[in-house]
Amino acid sequence: MLEFWRAGGSNTGATPELAREVEAEGWDGQMFMDSQCLSADPYAQMGVWACSTERIKLSTGVTNPLTRNLAVTAGAAATIQAISGGRAVLGIGRGDSALAYLGHAPVGLRRFEQAIRHLQVLLSGGEVPFEDFGSAGDAPSVHSLSLGQRPESVRLKWLPEGLPKVPLDVAATGPKVIAMSAPVAERVTFSVGAEPERMQWALDVARKARAEAGLNDSGISYGAQIVVVCHPDEATAMEVAMHMAPPLARFQTMQGQVGPVDAATREDLGKIQKGYDMTEHGNVASKERIVGGALTPDFVKRFAVVGTPDHCFERLRELLALGLERVVAVGPGFYPADWGEAAGLFAREVLPALKAG
């Protein structure tokens, strides 16, 4: 079943009215940004939406292994699962702005892999021994206390019986994270742009990793996070897409180049790698994203889905035909206020057409 999600951002509201409005538009899910210095707390917002809606799914978009203890993260996601009636998803990545604004780079691959494996155990109601789980900070060990009995492992003892497991959704751009997460997570969401060749490459990496683990595509959902700017006037859409594309395109430059790229694409990615302005991250109104440069319109047209409803429909249908089951649209909800009725064009015309096949 196809799912269409709205990406979250720093101005995602927590009001019941907005929650019901988004659900009524036909969206299947809403992501909530987890970046403590740039956005309100995602779990508090998800709780409001869970109590105000009946159908729409809710996910962090995305959390990371560092800013919260993994047991706290698992407990928060399971809480949303319980109060929403099974509509929670836990989206996680290696960390970007949430870590940058604490003075850190994204966590390493080894720690990230360990984190998603531990989360899968905790979300399933299992336990992780303290010696495997690692330190929760600078506090002394529980073994320093004088106790008759003490816990020896981490487990969410409060999980209600019969509560469906929260699916884990890994945000993945590079080949190592894709290959590591595909055999472990229920969902993998690629952030590789909107070119079919690059999307096919990401899917091939994931499927190969699952095949090597003795798995097929049963039990996993592949999705893609894509900048989508839909407007009757292409020039108006391009103006917005030019400053929406850099934050998402940046993920492809953080650890080097990703997948098949030509010389022109390599040049544009180089601009982002050298000049991305992290101090403007999360500011959807910012038009100055790259210090000393800008992306070319040709790159943005290929990287994002930009244009009329008919054009957006054709571009997304082509990507879905590759085997994607989900699209996380970056753009709807953050279009300029002066767009008026045009801001809802994607939800009114493109979503129903894509769902109808």
Residue 97 one-letter amino acid: S
Residue 252 has pLDDT above 80, yes or no: no
Cis geometry, peptide bond prior to residue 154 (ω within 30 degrees of 0): no
DSSP-assigned beta bridge partners for residue 168 = 90
* Mean pLDDT along residues 40-68: 97
Q: Check residue 255 and give its pLDDT.
A: 61
Pick the more confident residue, 290 or 229: 229
pTM above 0.85, yes or no: yes
pLDDT at residue 261 in the model: 75
Distance CA(136)–CA(238), nearest Å, equals 46
Amino acid letter, 10: S
- Express each pLDDT in 160-203 by its tens digit: 999 999 999 999 999 999 999 999 999 999 999 999 999 999 99
Per the document, the length of the chain is 357
Helix (H, G, I), strand (E, B) or coil at 60: strand
Give the confidence band of 139 by pLDDT, cuts at 50, 70, 90.
confident
| CA pair distance 287, 48, nearest whole angstrom | 31
Q: Cβ distance 258 to 252 under 8 Å?
A: yes
C-beta atoms surrounding 144 within 10 Å: 8
The average pLDDT across 202-221 equals: 97
Task: Encode pLDDT of 180-189 as tens digits.
Answer: 999 999 999 9
Question: Given the structure tokens 């850099």, which residue do they identify?
Answer: 246
Q: Band of the pLDDT at 257, cuts 50, 70, 90?
A: low
Torsional class of 219: left (φ above 0), alpha (ψ -120 to 50), beta (otherwise): left
| 60 has pLDDT over 70 | yes
> Do 228 and 193 touch, CB atoms closer than 8 A?
no
Asked if the model's pLDDT at residue 258 lies above 70, the reply is no
Please report the domains of the chain, with CATH numbers, ordered by start residue: 3-133+160-229+304-356 (3.20.20.30)
Read off the pLDDT band of 225 (50, 70, 90): very high
Cα–Cα dist 291/139, whole Å = 41
Check residue 34 and give its pLDDT. Answer: 95
Average pLDDT over the chain, rounded to an integer:
92
Contacts of 49 (CB under 8 A, 6+ apart): 14, 16, 19, 30, 56, 58
For residues 281, 221, 14, 55, the Cα torsion angle rounded to the nearest 10 degrees is 160
Contact 223, 186 (CB under 8 A): no
**Spatial CA neighbour of 330 closest among 191, 199, 226:** 226
| pLDDT tens digits, one per residue of 13-28 | 679 999 999 999 999 9
Alpha-carbon distance of 272 to 250, in angstroms, equals 6
In SS3 terms, 196-247 reads as HHHHHHHHHHHHHHHHHCCCCCCCCEEEEEEEEEECCCHHHHHHHHHHHHHH
pLDDT digits (tens, 9 = 90+) for 259-297: 667 777 877 777 777 778 777 776 666 767 777 678 899
Identify the pLDDT of residue 325: 98
Torsion of CA 5, 8, 11, 16, to 10 degrees: 50
**Across residues 207-216, what is the average pLDDT?**
98
